[in-house]
Amino acid sequence: MRRMTPLRRRMIDDMTLRNFSLKTIQAYVRCVARFAYYFHRSPEHLGPEQIRAYLLYLLQERRVSLSYYNLTRCALRFFYRVTLGRDDVPGSIAPAKQPRTLPVVLSPDELVRFFAAVANLKHRAILMTAYAAGLRVSEVTHLRVSDIDSQRMVIHVRRGKGQKDRYAMLSPRLLEILRAYWKAARPADFLFPGAVPEQPITTGSVRRVCYRARRAAGLAKHVTVHTLRHSFATHLLEAGTDLRTIQVLLGHRSFSTTARYVHVATASLPSTRSPLDRLELTPRGAHRS
């Protein structure tokens, strides 16, 4: 087993003190380690020119996604600014602007087909929970039995994105499904345990379940577990729920993140008239007498 260097230990401690999630800590450490490996030198001996060259390498040769580029950028900025206390590096790391694409959303009919394609009760309960409460996949997998509050009809989401707790809605229909699942499986701690009962089901397992359900349902759209969250928000908006409420339910820090669902909702389109329809146009070739 490779010994952890003092520099890596210090970076981990710096992130731990700032209450970074374990997932973020691991991702940042990997990014800095790959940067150092590329130059075969300790990162404390590298500077702005090497960072610039490495980021160009990621974009031009590796052709990584913009999200991975920005993850690496954030990791290097944290390492140099916080762990090494250097002020010469952060300003030289340019962010990459990501295109604003609209999320994929399933129609109610497509959701019925999707859920009907999941025969396993536990798997169906997981995916329905993701949709009914608008949860992220990691939030679903880490739910505990005690997080389901049937008295107040809410779900306690613990340490969601940004390490923040929040309450999500508990649908009466979802409660029926969860009760049926609990009677059959009798989970003791985690609501959806994995192969090891003391551990939650992995996010990878849930993603594979979702992939198989999409194929079995014959859906042409690219469906992920996050698609269910997008569908939840869009369907609430189309039903008349205000954006502020949706923001709270989703746990979005920025209102602009929630506002993008305005561009996806289509329920009001058929009843909205185009201004062209209000023009009194004379058909081509016809003449007024």
Q: Phi, psi at residue 2, to the nearest 5°?
A: -75, 135
Q: Note if 261 is an active site residue.
A: yes
Q: Note if 40 is an active site residue.
A: no
Q: Note if 161 is an active site residue.
A: yes
Q: Note if 252 is an active site residue.
A: yes
Query: What confidence category does residue 242 fall into, taking pLDDT thresholds of 50, 70 and 90?
Result: confident
Rounded distance between C-alpha atoms, residue 243 and residue 245, angstroms: 5
CB atoms within 10 A of CB 21: 15
Residue 36 has pLDDT above 60, yes or no: yes
Among 70-79, 155-164, 219-228, 266-275, name the one with the lowest average pLDDT.
266-275
Selected catalytic residue, list 8, 10, 159, 161: 161
**pLDDT, tens only, 85-105:** 988 775 656 666 666 677 889
Rounded distance between C-alpha atoms, residue 94 and residue 90, angstroms: 9
Rounded distance between C-alpha atoms, residue 183 and residue 194, angstroms: 17
From residue 253, alpha-carbon distances to 75, 76, 219, 247 in Å are 21, 24, 32, 8
**pLDDT, tens only, 107-126:** 999 999 999 999 999 999 99
Tell me, yes or no, whether 278 lies in a domain: no
Q: What is the pLDDT of residue 100?
A: 67
On whether both 131 and 163 belong to a single domain, the answer is: yes
On whether both 255 and 188 belong to a single domain, the answer is: yes
* Number of domains forming the structure of the chain: 2
Mark residue 251 as left, alpha or beta (left: phi above 0; alpha: psi -120 to 50; beta: remaining): left
On whether both 225 and 148 belong to a single domain, the answer is: yes
Selected catalytic residue, list 28, 69, 131, 261: 261
Selected catalytic residue, list 144, 207, 252, 260: 252
Looking up tokens 């609430």 gives 236
Selected catalytic residue, list 73, 229, 230, 235: 229
Q: What is the pLDDT of residue 269?
A: 47
Q: Which residue has the higher pLDDT, 15 or 87?
A: 15
Average pLDDT, the chain: 86
Tell me, yes or no, whether 229 lies in a domain: yes
Residue 115's nearest CA partner among 209, 236, 239 is: 209
Query: What confidence category does residue 194 fall into, taking pLDDT thresholds of 50, 70 and 90?
Result: very high
Q: Which residue has the higher pLDDT, 289 or 175?
A: 175
Q: What angle do CA 5, 7, 11 make, to 5 degrees?
A: 120
What does the pLDDT average to over 250-259? 71
Residue 221 has pLDDT above 90, yes or no: yes
Q: Note if 136 is an active site residue.
A: yes
Tell me, yes or no, whether 198 lies in a domain: yes
Selected catalytic residue, list 77, 136, 142, 214: 136
Spell out where 154-245 has E strands.
Answer: 154-157, 166-169
Q: Give me the amino acid identity at 265.
A: A
CATH number at residue 81: 1.10.150.130
Residue 64 has pLDDT above 80, yes or no: yes
Tell me, yes or no, whether 55 lies in a domain: yes
Q: Which 3-state string (H, E, C) describes 105-121?
A: CCCHHHHHHHHHCCCCH
Residue-number span of the structural domain to which 174 is assigned: 108-263
Tell me, yes or no, whether 182 lies in a domain: yes
Selected catalytic residue, list 8, 81, 113, 226: 226
Q: Note if 229 is an active site residue.
A: yes
The terminus-to-terminus CA distance of the chain in angstroms comes to: 94
On whether both 240 and 122 belong to a single domain, the answer is: yes
